[in-house]
Amino acid sequence: MSPPADPASPVAPADATAAGFLAALHPGSTTLSPARDLVVGYDLEGRPLHWFDGGTTYKRSLASELFGRRTVGGARERWRVPAAAAAQRFEQALAVARAAEERLPELRVRGDAAALEARLARILAWTPQRLAEERQRFAAVYRPVSILPPDQYHSVVLQASFGCSWNRCTFCTFYQGRPFALRPVEEFERHVEAVQRFLGAAAAGRAGVFLADGNALVLSNARLRPLLAAATRAFPGRPVAGFVDVFGGERKPARDWAELRELGLARVAIGVETGHDPLLAHLNKPGSAAEAAAFVRLLKGAGLAVSLIFMVGVGGERFAAAHERDSLALLERLELGADDIVYLSPFVTQPGSAYAARARLDGTAALAGAALEEQYQRLAAGARRLAPAARTALYHLDEFVY
């Protein structure tokens, strides 16, 4: 969508009164709030991460792209902030820190006040120019990170493989034009070191490790063993998660999953999409509801948590009733626990995808507006009823920021 006019109010730090100026020191981040409706969060290297400014939230990716988000009249708006406006936001983050430094003795401080001066010094080193240069640093460390499950946006992403081993689902364009490739162990180890250097102290604010890309856990245990060892050596004490699809994951026996659990894997994210087999076939995604149920049982038996992604509205009006019925029937068969997550992701037809072309040919009407919202509400209510211990959450693909 086109971005709304960004007010980029460069903070007006002069308006901030010391009495109302709050600095909060968290174990993995610092937040500065010169006024009730302005909060800026920084990582432990001092780089701004997020802004809350008068009802609009901004998030900076590690590549220094800036995304804005707000809700107007119940409708969500999200946009990529153009570079010039982003630079103003970076300037604003710096201005807030300068204002905090000037008022240091009078600030209200939460957390370890003795550490504030050092944290401010780090923040003040991040000029808009230096922040913009993070884009090149990021590109030297990572290939594009296409998507993560929402609970992993703040993990350390480590790319063990590239692309997706299947890459033929009609709706998915995440890894288009990127053939699946494994990363040799030595190259992965160098990548891990580069990520360590890139994140620096900010790694402390990232509580997990995500083994990317699309289907990394499909690799054999012989390949995953040294990768997990390198990941957990560099980022100790963090649970590891990764994507796998049913048809790839089910080939691995229970003992292999149990071994991965021993090696640090804690959570597996699965694009289930639907419990309706004809719809899955329509999407050209292998597997079935029965296979998904058996695979989830296998993973749970190995002591792993699961994040299951269902798409709301996929298949349009034609599949709506059957998709809803069979997805809930599948959820009913799964014995999900408190560590498990059911994600409901509103389906977005990707322009240029095979799905879009087929929908045009078939004349399949998309589920949109109130009908999409109603399906979401019914699936969410059903998931809460049928999997009461698990967390049910909305997953907007376009809110992904790494």
**Under the rule (CB under 6 A), what is the footprint of ligand SF4?**
164, 166-167, 169, 172, 174-175, 214, 245, 271, 285
Report CA dihedral (377, 381, 386, 391) to the nearest 10 degrees: 90
The residue (of 131 and 164) whose beta carbon lies closer to ligand SF4 is 164
Specify whether the CB–CB gap between 224 and 194 falls below 8 A.
Answer: no
- Dist. CA 323–CA 372, nearest whole Å: 12
Smallest gap from residue 167 Cβ to ligand SF4 (A): 5
The residue (of 107 and 280) whose beta carbon lies closer to ligand SF4 is 280
- Dist. CA 108–CA 300, nearest whole Å: 46
Smallest gap from residue 325 Cβ to ligand SF4 (A): 22
- Dist. CA 168–CA 92, nearest whole Å: 44
Count other Cβ atoms within 10 Å, centred on residue 176.
Answer: 13
The residue (of 24 and 182) whose beta carbon lies closer to ligand SF4 is 182
Smallest gap from residue 395 Cβ to ligand SF4 (A): 13
Q: Is the peptide bond before 339 cis (omega within 30 degrees of 0)?
A: no
**Non-local CB neighbours of 167 within 8 Å, separated by 6+ positions:** 175, 176, 178, 179, 180, 214
**Non-local CB neighbours of 65 within 8 Å, separated by 6+ positions:** 80, 86, 135, 401
**Tokens at residue 323, please?**
């998709």
Smallest gap from residue 147 Cβ to ligand SF4 (A): 8
The residue (of 244 and 390) whose beta carbon lies closer to ligand SF4 is 244
- Dist. CA 221–CA 150, nearest whole Å: 26
The residue (of 89 and 276) whose beta carbon lies closer to ligand SF4 is 276
- Dist. CA 247–CA 273, nearest whole Å: 13
Specify whether the CB–CB gap between 397 and 391 falls below 8 A.
Answer: no
Tokens 């990582």 -> residue: 43
Residue 36: exposure state from Cβ atoms within 10 A (0-12, 13-18, ≥19): exposed
The residue (of 13 and 249) whose beta carbon lies closer to ligand SF4 is 249
Pick the closest to residue 273 from 198, 331, 190, 332 (CA basis): 331
Report CA dihedral (365, 370, 374, 377) to the nearest 10 degrees: 120
Tokens 């078939």 -> residue: 362
Smallest gap from residue 245 Cβ to ligand SF4 (A): 4
Smallest gap from residue 354 Cβ to ligand SF4 (A): 10
Smallest gap from residue 195 Cβ to ligand SF4 (A): 22
The one-letter code for the residue type at 314 is: V
Smallest gap from residue 236 Cβ to ligand SF4 (A): 29
Smallest gap from residue 117 Cβ to ligand SF4 (A): 46
The residue (of 50 and 183) whose beta carbon lies closer to ligand SF4 is 183
The residue (of 68 and 214) whose beta carbon lies closer to ligand SF4 is 214
The residue (of 160 and 169) whose beta carbon lies closer to ligand SF4 is 169
